[in-house]
A = this chain, B = another copy of it.
Amino acid sequence: MSPQITPISDTEQDLELAERILQPDGTRIANHDLDRYIADLSAEDIRALHRDMVVLRRIDAEGVALQRQGQLGLWAPCRGQEATQIGTARALLAQDFVFPSYRETGVIYARGAAPADFVRMWRGEEGAGHDPESLRVAPLQIIIGAQTLHAVGYALGIRHDGADEVAVTYFGDGATSQGDVNEAMIFASSYRAPVVFVCQNNHWAISEPVSVQSQYPIAGRAPGFGIPSMRVDGNDVLACVASMRWALEHARSGNGPAYIEAVTYRMGPHTTADDPTRYRSDDELEKWRGRDPIARVEAHLRALGELSDDQLAEAEAAADAMAREMRAECLGMVTRPPLAVFDGVYAEPHSGLERQRSEYAAYLASFDGEV
């Protein structure tokens, strides 16, 4: 008979069950499993992580603002998830390849996205905001969970190529209910594919609390599939770096997949189209405000005397500069001409579509005299 399984009863317990290195007030505690993974991190490294998070929060705020001003069709804020995204993504090596969902602004930022990359898709200009090959990040994925299988297939290719790479996939707590995400674990396990699953449990799937998907720790599912997993405090950037390094090391050394559940919180609405006041309480939000991931690492650095006012100001300035560029790029975007709708459907000519294209060209041309 399987051992007793106990559901998660409340948020406090929820977080107790997660690995941690920094307490919410910024004090560092010993973590037997994780410490060795960040033994090499200097204060400067931690400051860089902090700076990334500050910049990311600003990018996110700018995305929201641009949407409110009608410049973007939609934006999916990642406020509150900065430690998870920056921590895990900064642990990657350049050659690793990422399959994200739609909320991973911090991940594409860490992979080197240009300011325009953040807005191109949300503005409705193109299907993908960034160049997948140069960032080594697949396009943002909207179909919940679909990308997890892509990561596994990519990882299978890595294994066949004998390459020193890892495929990484990000997905939400809601996504864990999709068949695809479960099949991804099964295929990854069966193939011992070098892939790391990163579940961002931000407690909500639009209006559904995570308890609709699972009343048990999500990380607890992976071991049943033969995949070692870790449940980590997703608002602790050091724990995120460390656990991701553990997972990457595991996958890179030929041991097959690893799984991380980062326990964090979506501070904003699901997207700019959402009104979270309809379904969640101020209390809950307030509680999580007290666990802010940026404040935590800031307090840590401050306590170490490793974050001066000047350094903080520099980070803010970098954030402002990024936001300015993002805005300028966004406002300067030129929509492609009408016939561009036909571009890129096929790699090779398709007679049916060619005909439609020329008919539509003739149709457009018929207005030329008129206007």
On A, residues with C-beta under 8 Å from B are 1-5, 7, 19, 33, 176-180, 182-183, 186-187, 189-190, 212-216, 219-230, 246
A-B contact pairs, 30 of them (CB 8 A): A1-B19, A1-B228, A1-B230, A2-B219, A2-B222, A2-B229, A2-B230, A5-B223, A5-B226, A5-B227, A176-B186, A177-B183, A177-B186, A177-B187, A178-B179, A179-B179, A189-B214, A189-B215, A190-B212, A190-B215, A214-B225, A214-B226, A215-B226, A216-B225, A216-B226, A220-B224, A221-B221, A221-B225, A224-B224, A224-B225
Q: Quick check: A224 and B215 within 8 Å, CB to CB?
A: no
In the bound complex, what is the Cα–Cα distance between A182 and B222 (angstroms)?
Answer: 12
In the bound complex, what is the Cα–Cα distance between A351 and B19 (angstroms)?
Answer: 63
- Chain B residues with CB under 8 Å of A228's CB are 1-2, 4-5
Known contacts A177-B183, A183-B179; is-contact A2 B213 (Cβ 8 Å): no
In the bound complex, what is the Cα–Cα distance between A223 and B224 (angstroms)?
Answer: 8
- Chain B residues with CB under 8 Å of A216's CB are 189, 224-226
Name the prevailing secondary structure of the A interface residues.
Answer: helix
Q: Quick check: B1 and A33 within 8 Å, CB to CB?
A: yes
Q: Quick check: A3 and B223 within 8 Å, CB to CB?
A: yes
Of the residues B180, B215, B220, contact of A2 by C-beta under 8 Å: B220
Count of identical protomers in the assembly: 2
- Chain B residues with CB under 8 Å of A19's CB are 1
Nearest CB in chain B to that of A225: its residue: B221
Known contacts A213-B186, A214-B190; is-contact A224 B226 (Cβ 8 Å): no
| Known A1-B229, A179-B182, A186-B213; further 17 A-B contacts with Cβ < 8 A | A1-B19, A1-B228, A1-B246, A2-B223, A2-B229, A2-B230, A3-B223, A5-B223, A7-B226, A179-B179, A179-B180, A182-B183, A189-B216, A190-B212, A214-B225, A216-B224, A222-B224
Leading 10 A-B pairs by shortest Cβ distance: A179-B179, A182-B182, A221-B224, A224-B224, A216-B226, A2-B223, A2-B229, A220-B224, A177-B186, A5-B223
In the bound complex, what is the Cα–Cα distance between A368 and B30 (angstroms)?
Answer: 90
